[in-house]
Structure 1
Amino acid sequence: MFIVELTYPGTWLDYEDDEWSWEMRKLVQMLENPLTEACLALALFEQQRAKPRDKPDREQWEEDSNRRREIEKELEAELNVDPFDPEDRQELYSSVERELRLEKWESGELPKQYSHRLIFMHAKSFLFAVDRIEKILGAIAEKDGVPDEVVEAKDAFEDIFPDLRGVRNTVAHIEDRGRGLDHRKEDLDLKPVQNRLVNAPGGGALILESLNGNEFGSTMSDGHYGEVEISLENIVKVCECIQNVIDALEWSGPQMHYPR
């Protein structure tokens, strides 16, 4: 796991307005938690991405088949199954499958639907972490008296993730986007999409929570398909933006370092 670092030139901000200094220092240090979460989400995302895809395993298939037969024999007597009654046979089959699944889950094996969603969960954790960073940077840049370098750092961050807000809003309002509605709850005008997963040059494709390599994407409220790249390269750029904000301010006292 790659750990990013920040250096504070001092412990407190050195400005005449104490209230301004206190609020600014609080905002700057608020960036640490979402930066930490973005790093952790990236590590967990890459961990899931590196796992080999499930492939047919003959040994496991044979083991499951044998266990099915054992469970079937146990349940036939318990359920008093009529071997010539289709409904009885179907009930037996369903009971055997459920019993086998329960045994697997109790042994620690995740259901496929659970394991499949893990990488999406980490992708969304990354998305919301960097979204929080963007919002905090925006609040910092809006304060009166901030140096120009702070605004430049905020703008540089937005250049890293140009589709961040649109993708994040779709994830947060999946109930609307999933029905083909924009932020006004009007019908989406779906724009053309062409990538490795979708080829819709004429538009009309609604895409929700898609992973294209390390790009997490969704159709945004304006009908365009947007993506957010989940990568170490982007984490490094984010860290540089935050460090530039820190360095643009006047500090006093002993240096501080992140993480501790």
Structure 2
Amino acid sequence: MGTIINRPAIKGDIVHVARDKLGNILVIDDRKHRILSFDSVFEQSKILRTAPHLPVHEYNRAMLMPIVWQEPARVTVLGLGGGALSHGLHKLLPESRIEVFELREKVVEIARDWFSLPLSERLNVTVGDARLAVEELPPASTDMILTDLYTADRMSPAQAQRQFIKACSRALSDTGWLALNYHRMPERDGNLFRELRRQFPVLLVFKSKTNNWVIYGCKKLFDPWTLPSNRSKELEKRLPVGWPKLLKKVSMLARDDDAQS
């Protein structure tokens, strides 16, 4: 659903309010942006009003980074928010199918009505619990999973559970990628980090300006620093989010050189 950007208050005008059993959902406009919030203090999603397919938050842009190394035919997004990530994927990958799971039906309605989420055969949004949805995904049924599960004031604990990591890994193809948005870095000697290492022979990490940690896991051992010289420039033409600059902030977290390549 988005990251937690903590400010005294979100500046702008509240242009729409909806409510469901989980609380308020606010749409806020400032001069350039449209913001989704659940409580008017924390930003859940943010887009440029003139270019709704361009994610604004750096962490959101960073979650797209696995596409530098692999263009997925099938993408699964856990958590919709205002749809910035899903809309960006739809623009960036014109041949790919994108499956999104979002817990709150009102959030889906607002993403369509207020955040210009495309109506497309390639972009399907299912209302349901993403934690359960990932358990039910068939083995090797998706090439990339991007998980961004947040409530009004915290990250969903599901993202830090070993069972969740195993379920994501099982659903990924043999060369698949997982990208997780964490509010803090997992402990190196903790169960979560050990599970990530068990499931993914290559782990990369990106620290955002808002101190979010995006962790990337790839199912196949490879060298992430061997890239065509024009790769990031090519992607920048499709979706101008600053790929070269983002790539410079990616670092190796762990690598299992004993894994099968």
Give the alignment's TM-score, normalised by structure 1. 0.23
- Which of the two has higher C-alpha Rg? 1
Higher relative contact order (CA 8 A, sep 6+): 1
More helix by share: 1
